[in-house]
Amino acid sequence: MTTASQCVAPADLAATESPSPLIPVTAPYGAAIAQIALGMGGLAIGTGEFASMGVLPQVADSVGKSIPVTGHMISAYALGVTVGAPVIAIAMARAPRRALLIGLMLFYLAGNALSALAPDYLSVVAARFIAGLPHGAYFGVAMLFAASMVPLNKRAQAVGNVLLGLSIANVVGVPLATWLGQAFGWRTTFVAVAALSALTAILIRLATPEVRPSSEASPMRELGALKKPQVWLTLGVAAVGFGGIFAVYSYITPTLTNVAGMPLGMVPAMLSVLGLGMIAGNIAGGWLADRALKATMVGCLIWSAAVLGLFTIASANPWAAGVNLFLIGGCIAMGPALQTRLMDVAGDAQTLAAALNHSAFNVANALGAWLGGVAIAAGYGWTSPGWVGLVLALGGLVILLVSLGLDRRESRLDVR
């Protein structure tokens, strides 16, 4: 296999198409620095997405609406992600990768700047929808771009390194941005996210090469992903299997305060523990997926079912709850494996499939939060989202086993 050091020089790449998947693209300062630059986008986007939840009460006071009504800005962001991911991926199928990523980060900057300037409820909701539009497309393109800079046997680790920014956001970015919003007004939270977006755009320009997609790339070719059953099955694994994490995460504050008896001020620390688990999961998940992709996916879903079910017991004790939350954070190890699986099954429609993966995560977010709320409202208690999570993880496992069974069937037909 040709190594990265043997590839064409970065200056030559500016006018060339993306090389063969077997030949890694050369980054100006190496693949590791390029992955850090791309991961900064994950830090910016993760901070913007989750810090908005932390300043929700302040925004509600400012626009004169109740917290539940103002919470529509969070739903608007998720809707923006779901809509923007496929639309941008299709429309920008022939755009140079680096230029597209820079444009998406500037788009995210604009959405957060509008959020900071929004004078009333409707404009806040509209601004959050705009901010959500580039989210899924950025991650989809960034992870494919990162994977193109490394040999095939390190793709999942490259994907995990981009997602690492999202995990670090939960440990560092979100607490800091939330503190800024509480100390200096909620608008400063979105100003900080806009600044992170600008920094990311600069780093991407400096640390990554410009590579044009294949001359055969087109919106119609990207739409070809929608004809592939394996793409839909993999997206189904994400939409269902990841829902359990969000079922627990959505109600973690009342569960820790009402069941574990923890003071409200300790909740951010517990969320940081969850974020540390996500960092560990990203690193471990990428490493494992590069060595045994299918086994990693199956193992991660079994792990998720076990630790989410354990939450129903562990949440009664603060120390046990902390350990369990770290283990739940580790469930994110499934992310790099799922993205790599999509690369394998999407064929020529890589960008749309990768972007749709993040639409699927937002479906998981909505599904998990909704089902967790249904369980609580039905009188099963604050710990019941753990049972919901266990069922959803097993549901994702069933979909995955169907997908793998289809793989084996297709392999036997090919042999014949």
Rounded to whole angstroms, the Cα distance separating 7 from 203 reads: 22
CA distances from 254 to 212, 247, 341 (A): 49, 13, 36
Residue spans per domain, the chain? 16-217, 218-416
Supply the pTM of this predicted model: 0.78
Residue 3 buriedness (CB in 10 A; 0-12 / 13-18 / 19+): exposed
Rounded to whole angstroms, the Cα distance separating 237 from 112 reads: 31
Domain at 218-416, CATH class: mainly alpha
* Per-position DSSP letters for 356-392, written without gaps between them: HHHHHHHHHHHHHHHHHHHHIIIII-TTHHHHHHHHH
Check whether 4 has a pLDDT greater than 70.
no
Work out the angle at residue 233's Cα, subtended by the Cα atoms of residues 229 and 238, and round it to the nearest 5 degrees.
Answer: 150
Fold agreement (16-217, 218-416)? yes
Domain at 16-217, CATH class: mainly alpha
Check whether 136 has a pLDDT greater than 90.
no
pLDDT band, very low/low/confident/very high, at 312 (cuts 50, 70, 90) = very high
CB 91 within 8 A of CB 218: no
Q: What is the pLDDT of residues 227-247, one digit of tens each?
A: 788 889 999 999 999 888 888
